[in-house]
């Protein structure tokens, strides 16, 4: 069961055939609801009017915004080789080590989509999977950004290096800041969970470590915020290095 406008609209746009039924609050008649209903009609998806109480039951009392959808499970993209083969231009990947909170994962996927990340990679153990909560927080990005969970993260990092992808780990103790680090080539950013950071073996498999300079009193950033800072600086450097027309 998906819920929330972004998650449901994104599934309709990306994989309408997987949407069986949409439950919509009959009391809502605003622009967002009209857009969703028009999209559902265009794809021939059945819509059932439901009151707030029914939507609450369907979504486990989540913040559904008046819309939920019963959908078929979609097999996630798991083939990293296929993703790498399809990339044109410098690769940009986000590797998450130990991010178990679904809200953090959803936010990271949203950030990854915003900055054009080709795939998000995480281990199968000690990591969140794609759930309705993740899809809601991701605001549609869970449908567009490949999320690949691997058995052995260290081995996967070695495979990325074989594809000439430079692996940079975000580490508070790194001597150089990300603003002093060259980020213009094929790149994989590795971030750990807030508090614990990367595991030792993951850190050892990074080609380089970089820190986010902290000018205030807080000691660290949420992993999704840190992802946005690192990816944003990467895109900025790439744009600055690109030849101007």
pLDDT digits (tens, 9 = 90+) for 171-192: 999 999 999 999 999 999 999 9
CATH value at residue 53:
3.30.1330.30
Residue 118 is predicted with a pLDDT of 94
Q: Which of 71, 101, 118 is the last residue of a domain?
A: 71
Angle (CA) 153-159-165 rounded to 5° is 105
Q: Which of 40, 71, 102 is the last residue of a domain?
A: 71
Q: Which of 71, 92, 114 is the last residue of a domain?
A: 71
Residue 144 is predicted with a pLDDT of 84
Residue 140 is predicted with a pLDDT of 79
Residue 89 has pLDDT above 80, yes or no: yes
Q: When comparing pLDDT for 223 and 139, which is higher?
A: 223
Residue 11 is predicted with a pLDDT of 85
Kindly state whether residues 155 and 179 are assigned to the same domain: yes
Cα of first residue to Cα of last residue in the chain, in angstroms, is 47
Whole-structure pTM value: 0.74
Residue 79 is predicted with a pLDDT of 77
CATH value at residue 223:
3.40.1280.10
Interatomic CA distance for residues 71 and 17, integer angstroms? 9
Residue 36 has pLDDT above 60, yes or no: yes
Residue 77 is predicted with a pLDDT of 57
Residue 244 is predicted with a pLDDT of 63
Residue 74 is predicted with a pLDDT of 64
Residue 135 is predicted with a pLDDT of 86
Kindly state whether residues 15 and 118 are assigned to the same domain: no
Kindly state whether residues 52 and 160 are assigned to the same domain: no
Interatomic CA distance for residues 36 and 69, integer angstroms? 11
Confidence of residue 219 (pLDDT cuts 50, 70, 90): confident
pLDDT in tens, 64-76: 999 999 998 765 5
Residue 76 is predicted with a pLDDT of 53
**Structural domain count, the chain:** 2
Kindly state whether residues 92 and 43 are assigned to the same domain: no
Kindly state whether residues 97 and 205 are assigned to the same domain: yes
* Percent over 90 (pLDDT), the chain: 66
| SS3 letters across the chain | CEECHHHHHHHHHHHHHHEEEEEEECCCCCHHHHHHHHHHHHCCCEEEEECHHHHHHHHCCCCCCCEEEEECCCCCCCCHHHHHHHCCCCCEEEEEECCCCHHHHHHHHHHHHHCCCCEEEEECCCCCCCCHHHHHHHCCHHHCCCEEEECCHHHHHHHHHHCCCEEEEECCCCCCEHHHCCCCCCEEEEEEECCCECCHHHHHCCCEEEECCCCCCCCCCCHHHHHHHHHHHHHHHHHHHCCCC
Kindly state whether residues 57 and 27 are assigned to the same domain: yes
Q: When comparing pLDDT for 231 and 127, which is higher?
A: 231
Residue 87 is predicted with a pLDDT of 85
Across the chain, what does the average pLDDT equal?
A: 91
Residue 78 is predicted with a pLDDT of 60
Confidence of residue 93 (pLDDT cuts 50, 70, 90): very high
* Percent over 70 (pLDDT), the chain: 97
Kindly state whether residues 133 and 187 are assigned to the same domain: yes
From the list 120, 119, 121, 118, the residue with the least C-alpha distance to 89 is 118
Kindly state whether residues 16 and 133 are assigned to the same domain: no
Q: When comparing pLDDT for 208 and 98, which is higher?
A: 208
Residue 179 is predicted with a pLDDT of 96
Q: By residue range, what is the domain housing residue 133? A: 80-241
Q: What is the mean pLDDT of residues 152-165?
A: 95
Interatomic CA distance for residues 95 and 199, integer angstroms? 12
Kindly state whether residues 100 and 59 are assigned to the same domain: no
Residue 34 has pLDDT above 60, yes or no: yes
């Amino acid at each position: 069961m998906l819920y929330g406008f972004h998650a449901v609209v994104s599934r309709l746009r990306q994989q309408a055939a997987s949407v069986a039924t949409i439950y919509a609050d009959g009391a809502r008649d605003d622009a967002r609801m009209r857009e969703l209903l028009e999209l559902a009609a265009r794809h021939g998806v059945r819509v059932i009017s439901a009151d707030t109480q029914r939507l609450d039951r369907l979504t486990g009392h989540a913040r559904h915004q008046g819309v939920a959808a019963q959908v078929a499970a979609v097999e996630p993209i798991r083939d990293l080789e296929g993703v790498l083969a399809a990339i044109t231009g410098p690769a940009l990947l986000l590797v998450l080590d130990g991010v178990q909170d679904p809200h953090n994962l959803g936010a990271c996927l949203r950030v990854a989509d915003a900055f054009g990340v080709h795939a998000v990679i995480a281990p199968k153990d000690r990591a969140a999977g794609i759930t309705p909560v993740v899809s809601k927080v991701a605001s549609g990005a869970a449908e567009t950004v490949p999320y690949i969970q691997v058995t052995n993260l260290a081995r996967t990092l070695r495979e990325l290096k074989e594809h000439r992808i430079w692996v940079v780990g975000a580490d508070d103790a790194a001597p150089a800041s990300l603003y002093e680090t060259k980020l213009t080539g094929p790149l994989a950013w590795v971030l750990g969970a807030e508090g614990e950071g990367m595991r030792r073996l993951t850190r050892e498999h990074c080609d380089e470590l970089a820190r986010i300079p902290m000018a205030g009193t807080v000691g660290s950033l949420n992993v999704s915020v840190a992802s946005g800072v690192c990816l944003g600086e990467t895109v900025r450097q790439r744009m600055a290095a690109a030849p101007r027309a």
